[in-house]
C-alpha cells in the first residue's frame, strides 16, 4: 500500500495564493513540481499481481447485459433523502445528495423532487396542453403535436425557492450539503421554445402574464410574466437525453431557466394568458416573505448567485495532512458564473478557483482549487460572482437586507469550520 | 384538436438555402415570419378544460417520493438492444437507442455496453490498481487512494471501434439509428488525470506504451501510447454525476477521449509501462483490418468525424406535408465539430446546420436545420467537419481508401431515402 503521498508538496510557501493553505489553482498542471517529492513504499509487483488475480470476479463470468442499467449495488447509500407528510405521503420534498456527486450533471434518478400531491402516472396518449385566455386562437395540443415542433436543448439547473432554507435558522444546521442545498439539480433539458407555441395561438396585446397549471391532483398554478415566457422558456419533453421522468413532469413540464423551481410547472396542462397574475397560493401565502420594512417580497423569481463547497464538507473527515482539492458547485439565475473565490481563513483572504469547462448560463458550474492542510484550524468559504455583476453575500449582509423572517431564497456564503482533528462543522461566521 | 399548422410556412422559396426543401438554419428564430399564417381550428376552452380535468390523475393522489427514480412506465420501449452469445451471455454488445433520444447526454442506464465475459460485481473496498513495469516505484492504489487525488470532469463520447460496422455490408441495413450507430454514447466523466498518478510512479525513459488490463473474468488488455496517456486520459470514477455504473467499469475505468472504445478499459486493474505494445488479441486479431494494399491497418485509435440524422430516420414515417426540424448527432475524436452540412437532394446541394451549444471537443454535438417537405422524393444526408480539418467521407470514398474487407472504423455519410408516402429507408448513394 502506498504511503499518503499527497503530503508531497514542499512545505514552502511558493504556491500560496491566500491564507489557510490555499494554493494556485493551476498547481495541478505543474505535476513535475509537485509529485516528484513523493516517497512511496516499494512493493513487489509479482505479489501484487497474484493478489489482484485471486479475486472472485476474475474467475467467473459476470452478469449478462441489461436493457436499462442501475447504479452499482455498492452505491445504494447514494439516494434522495425524503421528507414527506406522514398523512399525505405525496406532499413533501426529496433532496439531491450533492455531497456524493461530482461534475455538473445530476443523474435523473437523483434529481430533487417537490410534489404537492404525489407523482401522477399520466398516459401520454391522453394528456393535453390547453393554451387559452388572451389569445387569438385557443388551442389544445397532444404530446405528439408538440413533438412535431422545432426543439432546443440546454444544460441548466432547477432550484426550489425554498432551497437552503435551513440557513435562516438561528443555529447553523449540521447536515450534509445535499440535505441543506440539494433542492437544486442540473440536467440537459430538451423541448420546444414556449415562444413558438404562443405565437401559434396569437398573443393579444393586453396579455402580460401566463397562468401555468399542472395536471396532477394538486392542480398547482403559478403566474409567469409573458416577457420571460417569450425569452428562454421551454416546453420540456426530454431530460438528460431521454423522455422526462414521471417525478419531473412526464410527459411535459415548463422549463423556466434560472427562475425559482415552483415556476417550472410539472405535468403541464394549461397555459392561460392574462392581464394580471392569478395570485395563487404559491405566490401569496408561499414563496413570498416579510421584509424588515413590513412589506411582503413577492414575485422574486430569479435565483441569485450561490455556491457551496461539496468536498470537503460536513460529514467528511480529514484523516491526513497534505494536499487536497477543494471542489464545489456554483450557479446563478442571472447568467454564467464569472468567478468563484475560496477562503480558508474565514473570509480574511480569498483566492480564485478554477472553473471547470463548460461554463454555461443558468447552469451548475464546478469549481476546484488545491489546498494544503497541515492540521491548522480553518474555516472554508466560497463565494460566487455572476456575469450580471451579482455577488453571493455573507449571511450578515443577507439578513440586514431581508430580515430574520425569511424562508425562501437563501443564498448566503456557507462556512465549514475544520478542527485540528479534521472534523467539519457548519458555522455562521 | 389543432390542424397541422407546421404547413404554415409560405410555400415561397424565400428561406430556401439548398435543394430538397432545406431552409435557413436561423428560420425558427424568426417566428413572426413563420407561424402567423397558421390556421388552427377554434375550440371552446371551457369544453377543453372540463375534458382535461376529468382524467383520473387529477382526481387522486399520485405515487410517493422515491429514493432513486426510473423512467416512466410508458417509456419501457426505450431500451438498449442486446446482441449476445447464447452460450456465453456475457459476451456481446448492447446499443444506445439514439433514435429515441434528444440532446447530447446519454442517460447512464442506456449507455452502450461491450463486454467479453459479463459485468463483474467488484467490491470497491477490495479492488486495487497496480502501476508497474518501466516505472521508478511500482504502486498499488485502492479506490479510496485514488479518490484523494485532484479530479477533472469532461463531457465526451465513447465509441466502439466496431460501431456502424453494418455499413461495410454490400446491401444497406434497414434498422433504426441506434442499432446501426448506437455503440456510441456521451456522458460527463469525472476522474483523476492519468498523468498525475503516472508521475507518482515515475516514468522511466524507455517507456513508450502502457498495457492496460481490466479486472473482469476476460482480463482483456490493450496497449495505449504513453503520449496519449499523458495528454488527456482520466482514471474515471464518476459518470453523469454519480459513481460509475457496473457495466461501465465500476469502480474504475480508463477514459481515453476520442479514441476507440476498446482502449477505455473497464474495471481497470493494471497499468504496465513498457517499451513496446503487448500485441494482445484486441489489437491484432480484432480492431485491425486488411487494406487494399494487403497490409493490415493496426493501432488506428482515433475515431474519425461522423454524423447521422436521427430525426427523421429509419423507423419513423412522415405522415404530413409541411415544416420539419431535421436533427442529428455529430462527433469527432480529433476535437470539436466545426460544421455539419445537410443535404436533402442526395448530395447535390448542402446547407449548414445549426450546432446546439455547448460544442465541446470529442463530444456529441447536436445539429438542427429546418426543412419543408411537400411530398417530394428526397435523400437526406449529413456530413461532419471537425476543427482538425477532417471531413466525413462519402461511402465510395471510404471504400476506395480502405477496401471492401473493413469491419471497424466505419464513418461514411449515411443516406436516408424518403418516398412520396413518407417512408424512410437506408440507401447507399
Task: Summarize pLDDT for A398-427 with one digit per residue, the tens.
Answer: 999 999 888 899 999 999 999 999 999 999
What the block records as the C-alpha cell of B173 is 441495413
pLDDT of residue A291: 87
Cell readout for A381 is: 468559504
A251-255, A360-364, A418-422, B137-141: range with lowest mean pLDDT: B137-141
Q: Across chain B, what does the average pLDDT equal?
A: 91
- Note the pLDDT of residue B36: 34
Does the beta-carbon distance from A90 to B190 stay under 8 Å? no
DSSP A344-372: SBTTSS-EEPEEPSP--TTS-EEEEEEEE
Mutate: best of A81, A93, A107, A112, partner B, most B CBs <10 A: A107
Q: Which residues of B touch A219 (CB under 8 A)?
A: 53, 58
Confidence tier at B288 by pLDDT (50, 70, 90)? confident
> What's the mean pLDDT in B270-291?
89
Closest C-alpha to A188, from A264, A233, A242, A263: A242
What is the tens place of the pLDDT at every residue in A195-236? 999 988 999 999 999 999 999 999 899 999 999 999 999 999
Q: How high is the pLDDT of residue B30?
A: 55
Which residues in chain A have Cβ-Cβ distances shorter than 8 Å to B90? 61-65
Which residues, at least 6 apart from A159, have a Cβ–Cβ distance to it below 8 Å?
A: A183, A184, A260, A261, A303, A306, A331, A333
- Kindly tell me if the per-residue pLDDT of B112 is higher than 60: yes
Residues of A in Cβ contact (< 8 Å) with B66:
80, 82, 94, 113, 247
Whether residue B275 is predicted with pLDDT greater than 60 in this model: the reply is yes
Is the preceding peptide bond at B256 cis, omega within 30 degrees of 0? Answer: no
- Residue A30 pLDDT: 55
> In this predicted structure, what is the pLDDT of residue B92?
96
Confidence label for B44 from pLDDT (cuts 50, 70 and 90): low
Give SS3 for B368. Answer: strand
Smallest Cβ–Cβ distance between A358 and the set B6, B108, B358 belongs to B358
How far A144 CA lies from chain B's nearest CA (Å)? 11
Q: How close B149 gets to chain A, by Cα (Å)?
A: 7
More confident position, B269 or B49: B269
Q: What is the C-alpha separation between A247 and A84, in angstroms, rounded?
A: 14
Rounded average pLDDT over B235-240: 98
The mean pLDDT of B203-212, rounded to a whole number, is 97
The span from the first CA to the last CA of chain B, in angstroms, equals: 40
- Min mean pLDDT across A46-55, A341-350, B105-114, B402-411 is at A46-55
Percent of chain B with pLDDT over 70: 92
The Cβ of residue B84 has, within 10 Å, a number of other Cβ atoms equal to 17
Q: Which residue of B has its CA nearest to A367?
A: B152
The distance from CA A4 to its chain's CA centroid, rounded to whole angstroms, is 32
Average pLDDT over residues B246-252: 98
Q: How far is CA B264 from CA A104, B117, B212, B287, in A?
A: 22, 16, 9, 14
Quick one: average pLDDT of A55-69? 94
User: Is the per-residue pLDDT at B51 higher than 80?
Assistant: no
- pLDDT tens profile A243-269: 999 999 999 999 999 999 999 999 999
Comparing A41 with A171, the larger pLDDT belongs to A171
Q: In this predicted structure, what is the pLDDT of residue A126?
A: 95
How many CA atoms are closer than 13 Å to the CA of A346, on its beta-carbon side? Answer: 11
| pLDDT higher than threshold 60 for residue A112 | yes
User: What domains, with CATH codes, occur in chain A?
Assistant: 128-297 (3.90.420.10), 306-427 (2.60.40.650)
Per-residue pLDDT band at A159 (split at 50, 70, 90): very high
Determine, for residues B150 and A370 on separate chains, whether the beta-carbon distance falls below 8 Å. yes
Q: Evaluate whether A28 touches A325 at the Cβ level (below 8 Å).
A: yes
pLDDT tens figures, B358-396: 999 999 999 999 999 999 999 999 999 999 999 999 999
Min CA distance, A70 vs chain B (Å)? 6
- The answer to whether residue B34 scores a pLDDT higher than 70 is no
Secondary structure of B338-361 in HEC code, one letter for each residue? EEEEEECECCCCCEECEECCCCCC
Reported ipTM: the value is 0.94
Q: Which residue of B has its CA nearest to A321?
A: B148
Parallel, antiparallel or unpaired: strands A128-133 and A268-274: parallel
SS3 A75: helix
**What's the whole-number mean pLDDT along residues A12-18?**
80
Amino acid at each position: 500500500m502506498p504511503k499518503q503521498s499527497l503530503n508531497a508538496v514542499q512545505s514552502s510557501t511558493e504556491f500560496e495564493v491566500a491564507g489557510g493553505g490555499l494554493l494556485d489553482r493551476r498547481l495541478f498542471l505543474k505535476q513535475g513540481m509537485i509529485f516528484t517529492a513523493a516517497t512511496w513504499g516499494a512493493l513487489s509487483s509479482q505479489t501484487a499481481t497474484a493478489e489482484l488475480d485471486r479475486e472472485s470476479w476474475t474467475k467467473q463470468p459476470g452478469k449478462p447485459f441489461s436493457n436499462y442499467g442501475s447504479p452499482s449495488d455498492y452505491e445504494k447509500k447514494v439516494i434522495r433523502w425524503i421528507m414527506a407528510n406522514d398523512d399525505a405521503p405525496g406532499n413533501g420534498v426529496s433532496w439531491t445528495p450533492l455531497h456524493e456527486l461530482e461534475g455538473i450533471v445530476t443523474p435523473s434518478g437523483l434529481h430533487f423532487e417537490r410534489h404537492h400531491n404525489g407523482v401522477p402516472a399520466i398516459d401520454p396518449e391522453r394528456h393535453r396542453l390547453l393554451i387559452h385566455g388572451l389569445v387569438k386562437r385557443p388551442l389544445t395540443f397532444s404530446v405528439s403535436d408538440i413533438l412535431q415542433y422545432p426543439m432546443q436543448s440546454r444544460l441548466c439547473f432547477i432550484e426550489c425557492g425554498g432551497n437552503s432554507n435551513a440557513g435562516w435558522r438561528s443555529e447553523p444546521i449540521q447536515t450534509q450539503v445535499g440535505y441543506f442545498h440539494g433542492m437544486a439539480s442540473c440536467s440537459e433539458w430538451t423541448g420546444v421554445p414556449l415562444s413558438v407555441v404562443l405565437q401559434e395561438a396569437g398573443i393579444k396585446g393586453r396579455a402580460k402574464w401566463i397562468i401555468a397549471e399542472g395536471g396532477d391532483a394538486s392542480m398547482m398554478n403559478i403566474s409567469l410574466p409573458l416577457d420571460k415566457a417569450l425569452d428562454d422558456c421551454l416546453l420540456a419533453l426530454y431530460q438528460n437525453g431521454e423522455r422526462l421522468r414521471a417525478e419531473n413532469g412526464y410527459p411535459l413540464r415548463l422549463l423556466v431557466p434560472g427562475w425559482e423551481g415552483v415556476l417550472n410547472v410539472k405535468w403541464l396542462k394549461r397555459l392561460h394568458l392574462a392581464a394580471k397574475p392569478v395570485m395563487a397560493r404559491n405566490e401569496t401565502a408561499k414563496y413570498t416573505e416579510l421584509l424588515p420594512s413590513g412589506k411582503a417580497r413577492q414575485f422574486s423569481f430569479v435565483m441569485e448567485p450561490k455556491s457551496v463547497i461539496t468536498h470537503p464538507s460536513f460529514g467528511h473527515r480529514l484523516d491526513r495532512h497534505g494536499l487536497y482539492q477543494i471542489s464545489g458547485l456554483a450557479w446563478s439565475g442571472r447568467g454564467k458564473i464569472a468567478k468563484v473565490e475560496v477562503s480558508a481563513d474565514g473570509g480574511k483572504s480569498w483566492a480564485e478557483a478554477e472553473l471547470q469547462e463548460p461554463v454555461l448560463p443558468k447552469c451548475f458550474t464546478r469549481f476546484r482549487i488545491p489546498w494544503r492542510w497541515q492540521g491548522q484550524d480553518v474555516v472554508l468559504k466560497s463565494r460566487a460572482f455572476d456575469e450580471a455583476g451579482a455577488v453571493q453575500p455573507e449571511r450578515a449582509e443577507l439578513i440586514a437586507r431581508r430580515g430574520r423572517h425569511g424562508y425562501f431564497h437563501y443564498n448566503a456564503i456557507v462556512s465549514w469550520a475544520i478542527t485540528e482533528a479534521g472534523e467539519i462543522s457548519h458555522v455562521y461566521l
